[in-house]
Amino acid sequence: MTEPTATILVIDDEQGIREGCRRALAGENLEVDLAENGEVGLRKLAERPYDLVLLDIMMPGVGGLQVLAEALARDPEMIVTIITGYATVELAIQAIKAGAYDFLSKPFDAATLIHAVNQGLERRRLSLEAQRLRAHEVEAERLRQEKAELQRINQLKSRFTLLVAHELRAPVAAIQSYLKLILEGYVDPSQFPDIVRKAERRAGEQLALISDLLELARITGGPTQADEMCSLDVVEALEETVDLMRGQVEEKGLGLQIEIGPDIPLIAANPKHIRQLWNNLLSNAIKYTPTGGQVTVQVACDGAAIVGSVQDTGIGIPPEDQAHLFEDFFRARNAKEFERMGTGLGLSIVKAILDLYSGQIEVASEVGKGTTFTFSLPTSCFLPPA
């Protein structure tokens, strides 16, 4: 037996109409169900899907408009053709406005019914096909975006790999050059200490770079960091960092001012992250501030976030370089001239830490006058009082 091409539900309180529809559609390879009123019709609609409903608009109890609304709520693509008498044409027009596809006026013959049903089923087929095409288009667009994102990530990975290779190669090449000069007899023994000191400095640069790369990889790794979260005092982490850096501050003759606002809440964070955040911002301020300058650190809570800032009276950052500050290995040109040593990863690490906690960072700077980095950690990081 051939599988029915569609399912039809006839809802009408007149038995003659119901049976007449069944007989007329019997030879059309359709499965036809009957319901004698709106309540039974709704029950049948709840039990299985239908492609088309022939619906009497005027029935006792549950009316046709209510059945129409619930049918379309179940399946917006369902075709509902209203069966109406002359006296209910206005209701039929109201049903069309409410989403019905067409209406048939009583009395109608078999040919008219079959034509109306076939038209409705074709409309449903086209509608479902359009829906499938839209779904395919959405999926194709999603795949296109994913492909573009993968390509972007691959390009970033390739660029990062090249940058890492370049940055790692330079110190090794310098150390190898120093060693060759000694091994091949081009250096007087009296110059050995100076050459070895230079090689040791380049090895130190290499170790600093490797350390920063490992730290950046750990931070951006994500899930493993959650195990180290705890209740943390941001101010205490700042004070620990400042204590470690006081020697550098005194050696350069810098003024250091710490300003702490009231009621700074604890946050849930990895202590290493917050110490490193302060460490990188403070070390930059100290490094790029000439002797006799000033570094000012502020911490406050504005109700929505903890806000910290590190301000210096240093060399400043050229406007054209400020947009690139948080890129891996980037160093402003005046920074390279002022201080040769630097991995260019410190601010990348700062940005990665803040991204991990949904924080933000901004920079304000003027060449020759100084720089201020301001970061915020949102209230979602706050821990409830004990």
- Residue-wise pLDDT for 169-218, tens only, equals 777 787 888 888 888 888 888 888 888 888 888 787 777 777 767 777 77
Which pLDDT score is estimated for 133?
A: 92
Q: How far apart are CA 346 and CA 276, in angstroms?
A: 9
Q: How far apart are CA 6 and CA 117, in angstroms?
A: 10
| Single pTM value for the model | 0.52
CB-based burial, 332-344: b 16+ in 10 Å, e otherwise: bebbeeeeeebbb
Q: How far apart are CA 53 and CA 9, in angstroms?
A: 5
Q: How far apart are CA 279 and CA 261, in angstroms?
A: 20
Q: How far apart are CA 227 and CA 221, in angstroms?
A: 13
Residues in the chain: 386
Extended strands (E) in the chain: 6-11, 30-35, 52-56, 79-84, 102-105, 230-232, 255-260, 267-269, 294-301, 305-312, 360-366, 370-378
Q: How far apart are CA 370 and CA 341, in angstroms?
A: 20
- Residue-wise pLDDT for 161-176, tens only, equals 666 666 667 777 878 8
Which pLDDT score is estimated for 120?
A: 92
Which pLDDT score is estimated for 85?
A: 79
Q: How far apart are CA 277 and CA 348, in angstroms?
A: 10
- List, in order of start, the domains of the chain with CATH numbers: 6-108 (3.40.50.2300), 223-381 (3.30.565.10)
Which pLDDT score is estimated for 223?
A: 46
- Residue-wise pLDDT for 106-162, tens only, equals 888 999 999 999 999 999 999 999 989 999 999 999 999 888 878 876 776 666 666
Low-confidence ranges of the chain (pLDDT < 50): 223-226, 383-386
Q: How far apart are CA 101 and CA 120, in angstroms?
A: 7
Report which of 56, 104, 55 is spatially closest to residue 78, judged by C-alpha positions: 55
Q: For the chain, how big is the Rg over CA atoms in Å?
A: 38
Q: How far apart are CA 244 and CA 50, in angstroms?
A: 75
